[in-house]
Structure 1
Amino acid sequence: MDGSEPGEDTPAAVLSGAPVELQARTVRIYCKAKAATQSGDWQKHHWRMDWDVLGRGHRWENPLMGWQSSADFMQGTHLNFKSKEDAIRFANKQGYEYFVQEPNERRIIPKAYADQFVWNSKPLKQVRTK
């Protein structure tokens, strides 16, 4: 993308003089998943945008310490938005290619202790204790 493409506006990344490597990156817009140890769903109300990891071997291992290093300066960067539409609007304004990953819907199956004692026409279930 160099600013000569047809469209409504010139992307802000082109006007700001951002590096070409940053302009050509694809961003992922998604809703962060709930942590397995938490019962609340606070993270469902926020949308997040982050840059895809670069391929082509931009990672190496430090021979002295054995730590992983990377030349990808956007690897640990993410942006938070209040809605999916805000994130899409921002990506369009910056001229980024994006894809939206929709969150999985939770299926809550209602359960009750009393359901164990409801009459059922099926044969009785035999449970062996010894």
Structure 2
Amino acid sequence: MPARIYRPARNAMTSGTAKTRKWVLEHVVGTAREVDPLMGWTSSTDMQAQVRLSFPTKEAALEYAEEHGIDVIVQDPQARKPNIRQGGYGENFATHRKGVWTH
């Protein structure tokens, strides 16, 4: 069963890039989840689906996978264009603006 090595994307609710610098090795789910008839909880017999390891570099994750005989699929992150404004955040509150400013 293959595993996936990737760098997580940033949270869509924030502009920050926290928790996006490390590489993650995550096993692909092998079996479907089942609903418990009594409690209604979802469960799976695949324990590897709970394993999520983080590494500082892609090479470290690949080395770990090779040492333990894990087949991996590497997903490289897409480059993000930086959003840099001329005046920065303070430009939103500038008093020297000529015209009316709205969103």
1:50 aligns with 2:52: no
Larger Rg: 1
Gaps of 5+ in 1: 1-24, 114-130
Match of 1:75, SS state, is helix
Query: Which residue is 2:73 aligned to?
Result: 99
Count of residue pairs the alignment pairs up: 88
1:53-92 aligned within 5 A: 53-55=29-31, 57=32, 59-92=33-66
Distance (Å, rounded) in 1 between the aligned partners of 2:12 and 2:83: 18
Distance (Å, rounded) in 2 between the aligned partners of 1:80 and 1:65: 33
- Percentage of matched positions with identical amino acids: 33
Distance (Å, rounded) in 2 between the aligned partners of 1:37 and 1:99: 28
When the two chains are superposed, the root-mean-square deviation of aligned CA atoms in Å is 2.0
Q: Cα 1:110–1:38, aligned 2, differ >3 Å: closer, same or farther?
A: closer
Deviations 1:38-96 (A, max 9, x none): 222232320000100114x4x21111122111101111210010000000001011111
Distance (Å, rounded) in 1 between the aligned partners of 2:18 and 2:58: 15
Gaps of 5+ in 2: 88-103
Q: Indicate if the aligned counterparts of 1:31 and 1:43 stay in contact, CA closer than 8 A.
A: no
Normalization by structure 2: what TM-score? 0.74
Query: Which residue is 2:3 aligned to?
Result: 27
Deviation at 1:108, TM superposition (A): 3.0
Distance (Å, rounded) in 2 between the aligned partners of 1:28 and 1:94: 14
Deviation at 1:109, TM superposition (A): 5.2
Distance (Å, rounded) in 2 between the aligned partners of 1:44 and 1:64: 39
Query: Which residue is 1:14 aligned to?
Result: none
